[in-house]
A and B are shown apart, each in its own frame.
Chain A
Amino acid sequence: DGGITQSPKYLFRKEGQNVTLSCEQNLNHDAMYWYRQDPGQGLRLIYYSQIVNDFQKGDIAEGYSVSREKKESFPLTVTSAQKNPTAFYLCASRWGTLNTEAFFGQGTRLTVV
């Protein structure tokens, strides 16, 4: 089945730790996105990538980093510089810059302990 797979579903981070969230898609989409979801704030864009080995900051990139070494994969690292990382993280993919459906993964819930 084609789709986007995020892992893990739940992740716990200690203060000062970096953690990496995985996002893999087999839809052959060029563009991939990371969004952060907090109650009452909708989905805010963290990073996006339109092509392998290239990515751009979104609206709330501080404290996060990404890589795009393969078309299928777009991992997100939440660094210790992100002061309030507890949130629901969503990965999405889409056909480039065309106005077509964006497909989302099932999300990763990150909690600081």
Chain B
Amino acid sequence: QQQVKQSPQSLIVQKGGISIINCAYENTAFDYFPWYQQFPGKGPALLIAIRPDVSEKKEGRFTISFNKSAKQFSLHIMDSQPGDSATYFCAASRTGNTGKLIFGQGTTLQVKP
């Protein structure tokens, strides 16, 4: 019930292409779904987040698509750039539940020039 499953584990995309990372959750009480970006040797940083009252959120080249009925959400990176090469984590949490973020397993993205 507490798991968040993320796929793929690794992804290679050509510069200018679209990167897509998927996550699925089980706990329908989750009401906050962030994506974090992590560069090697650094801590994760918030990239974009969505709440279940909307089906899509876009910030620049990054878009979250959310499917409440399927309990899935995904990150789309448009016009992928070599500087986007990093590890991406999806996560989920619910209001009032200690603030714990439950993380997916992570996706290592490599954007080839």
Contacts and interface: CB of A to CB of B under 8 A. Distances in A.
Contacts, number: 73
Contact of A43 (B45, B99, B103): B103
A103 to B, nearest CB: 8
A33 interface: yes
Interface size class of B (residues with CB under 8 A): 20 to 34
Contacts of B69: none
- Chain B's interface: helix, strand, loop or mixed, by majority? loop
A31 interface: yes
Contact of B43 (A44, A50, A105): A105
Interface size class of A (residues with CB under 8 A): 20 to 34
A101 to B, nearest CB: 5
Nearest to A4: B43
Interface string B31-42: 110101000011
B68 interface: no
A90 B103 CA distance: 13
